[in-house]
Structure 1
Amino acid sequence: MVTKIGKKIVMSERNSIRKHLFLYLDVFDKTNNQLLGYLGDISEQGLMFISQTQIMPDQLLNIRIELPENLQEMNKMCIDAQVKTRWTEPNINPQLNCIGCQFIDLDAEYIPVIQQITELLTFDEDFEIKRVRRP
């Protein structure tokens, strides 16, 4: 569910489909500018990034997603947001973790940017990707 409060978007339960990216974008911790990992999928409600770091569920993170410079269709250079980690799963590569996040504080100006990312940088809907190892 998407709730608009002034210029901010507040997200709750996921009800949109995330689209897997064919170009991973850098995800940084805004507080220390440390690379957290690489964006794996995104929707207007949340995202999943792939990281070498183990990040536990229920953490609040202030993140910055760096957008590609060579895509002129993008009218922003980054997405700044606060997210809450919801889950973590091992990646197929055991040295990596997939971390699912929900947007907590996202400025409404980023919604068209997320839509552009999903239009320009995602796989066809019929293409299936499995990044996490399921028991």
Structure 2
Amino acid sequence: MFTDRRIERHQLPYCLKVFNGHTDRTIGYLGNVSEDGLMLISQLPMMIGADFDLRLKIPVTDGSPKVIDLRACCLWCHEDATPHHYDAGFSLQRAPPEYGQLVEALKQYFSFQTLPASA
């Protein structure tokens, strides 16, 4: 069973909704992301070993969201510290380049970076 994390995660609780790729209904929120996967926080447990079509809707400046469709397999699921919520870890099977761009943009946005000293 997969237990060791090899890629740094970036925490995103309740910022970005995750939708069912078929019904377009909200199934939860992104908990964190990496290049190869994501954690979903939802009010229902996810079936381990099942493949899911997930959809992210990223807000953009012109008002219409940018849609990123993902195919992912649920590797684990357990109850969250918050009552009636579940955390589920997904491995991405099919992700478009826009997902990698989202991960990089979120890293930049949520990182504390040292600015060079001005002379």
TM-score by length of 1: 0.70
Aligned to 2:30: 39
Aligned residue type for 1:24:
C
**Aligned partner of residue 95 in structure 2, secondary structure:** strand
Q: Which has the higher contact order (CA 8 A, sep 6+)?
A: 1
- Identify the match of residue 92 of structure 2 among 89, 103, 118: 103
Aligned length: 107
| Distance across 2 between alignment mates of 1:40 and 1:25 | 9
Listed one character per residue, the Cα deviations across residues 15-73 of structure 1 (whole Å, up to 9, x for unaligned) are: 31111125520100111112110011001110001100111211101111121335x8x
Which letter does structure 1 place at the counterpart of 2:36? Answer: Q
Counterpart of 2:55 (choices 36, 47, 64) is 64
Q: Is the Cα contact below 8 Å between 2:10 and 2:32 reproduced in 1?
A: yes
Secondary structure (helix, strand or coil) at the match of 2:41 reads strand
- Shift in CA distance, 79/117, structure 1 to aligned 2, threshold 3 Å: farther
Provide the rounded CA distance (Å) in 2 between the counterparts of 1:48 and 1:23: 12
TM-score, normalised on structure 2?
0.78
Distance, in Å, in 2 between the alignment partners of 1:78 and 1:109 is 9
2:71 to 82, 87, 90: 82
Q: Distance in 2 between matches of 1:31 and 1:103?
A: 17
Structure 2: give runs of 5+ residues left out of the alignment: 113-119
Moved over 6 A (4+): none
One-letter code aligned to 1:69: V
Q: Distance in 2 between matches of 1:69 and 1:23?
A: 17
Letter in 2 for 1:97: Y
- Give unpaired runs (5+ residues) of structure 1: 1-12, 125-135
- In structure 1, the residue matched to 2:81 is 92
